[in-house]
Amino acid sequence: QELLVAESLGKHPLQNRWALWFFKNDKSKMWQENLRLITKFSTVEDFWALYSHIQPASKLSSGCDYSLFKDGIEPMWEDSQNKRGGRWLITLAKQQRHTELDRFWLETLMCLVGEMFDDYSDEVCGAVINIRAKGDKIAIWTREAENREGVIHIGRVYKEHLGLSQKVAIGYQAHADTATKSSSLTKTKFVV
């Protein structure tokens, strides 16, 4: 029905309905309380309306996150569709917040809503951006860390869309590994 409405308005429907979440680190509250659903959208036009309406990631205060996930998947490891998965992680140096961060995040969002991972787009769960004083992070989460072919394809296409040089390597970590180790010791499962 949503599809018909969208099309009747002349809007361009997306393959998936997406939910944008916002996390603000308030130590006095429970983690779940700090996580808020902003809104959901399922057309190209509504994506841009939302994107142009919200604060750019580079303007968020430290400790905040945006997460964009397929409707029905919550932006946390524990979600049944994330649990066996992992993430392609982009770690940025501090000065990149003012040069690349917003551009990288927009490319990430477009890869998701445009289903730009060919036959493997169904492997994608969502993407997260963490704004941290020690260096910001952007990641695309996929649902099955053992699905080597899909994970590698997504990593290669993602790297291309970000315009990263061949000299720059990005790593994929399984959530199960990230959850149990301190970030510097987390095992990297794949590299592209």
Instruction: Name the token pair of 74.
Output: 């919550």
Query: Could you tell me the smallest distance in angstroms from the CB atom of residue 40 to other proteins?
Result: 16
Q: Any alpha helices (H) in 96-162, and if so which ranges?
A: 101-113, 148-162
Question: Near other proteins by CB under 8 A, which window of 22-30, 59-67, 106-114, 124-132?
Answer: 106-114
Site map 109..148 versus other proteins, x via CB under 8 A: -x--xxxx----x---------------------------
Our CB check for other proteins shows the closer of 43 and 130 to be 43
12 binds other proteins (CB under 8 A): yes
Residue holding tokens 């569709």? 81
Sign of the alpha-carbon torsion through 91, 93, 98, 99: negative
User: Who's near 75: CB < 8 A, 6+ residues apart?
Assistant: 21, 23, 35, 65, 67, 69, 126, 128
Nearest distance from residue 100's CB to other proteins, in Å? 16
**H-helix or E-strand containing 145?**
none
Task: Tell whether residue 40 is a contact of other proteins (CB under 8 A).
Answer: no
Interface with other proteins (CB under 8 A): 12-15, 44-45, 47-49, 51-52, 107, 110, 113-116, 121, 161
